[in-house]
A = this chain, B = another copy of it.
Amino acid sequence: MAITLQRGQKLVLATHNPGKAREIAALLDGFDIVTAGALGLAEPEETEATFVGNAVLKARAAAEASGLVALADDSGLSVRALGGDPGVYSARWAGPGKDFAIAMAEVERKLIAGGSSDRAAWFSCALAVAWPQGPVVAVEGQVHGTVSFPPRGDRGFGYDPIFIPEGGAQTFGEMDQAAKEAISHRTRAFAQLKAALIG
């Protein structure tokens, strides 16, 4: 079995996050995408310590449960002065209500408590494609920048309102989708994935 993706083929998107599903659909045109949520698939526990590890785990679980090729994303914000936190816990810091205002306030609180003026941070996006009973392919993209408070902008999702990419002045939450897409961690990961898997 060659590991390639053919445009037009059916892909299960192993995410229950509507913001991610929207961005991924825009980046992966030409595929017949169905979400794990629409198929009623359970979300597996994200046990791994890396973005790539969790993307692989989610893609494999969705592929085995659906019998279809599955694509999963695991992404988050790493803050250097917090030792890389929230990292793979980015979604969990938002709590069961998925309230990222709480998560962003927690980043600010910990930075103030830590006393460092270092605001370096980066977004990572790992993508994995798994074939049922078969291989899994993963890639990772990053975008470096700084965190800034208070949060600004109501576009994007997650930690976007506190992240300013290198060389920019606006947060990801203030940028329109096309401007964010031009440089985002997710775009970079998709470029790698397409180069690797789409002929």
Contact = CB atoms under 8 A, between A and B. Distances in A.
Interface stretch (A48-56, A96-104, A177-185): A48-56
Interface of A: 1-3, 47-50, 52-53, 56-57, 60, 134-139, 192-193, 195-197
A52 B60 contact: yes
Q: Binding site of A, secondary structure by majority: helix, strand, loop or mixed? A: mixed
A3 B136 CA distance: 12
A57 B47 contact: no
Contacts of A3: 3, 137, 196-197
A2 B3 CA distance: 9
Given A53-B50, A53-B53, A195-B1, A135 B138 contact: yes
Nearest to A53: B53
Contacts of A195: 1
11 contacts: A47-B48, A47-B49, A47-B50, A48-B50, A48-B53, A50-B53, A56-B138, A135-B138, A135-B193, A135-B196, A136-B138
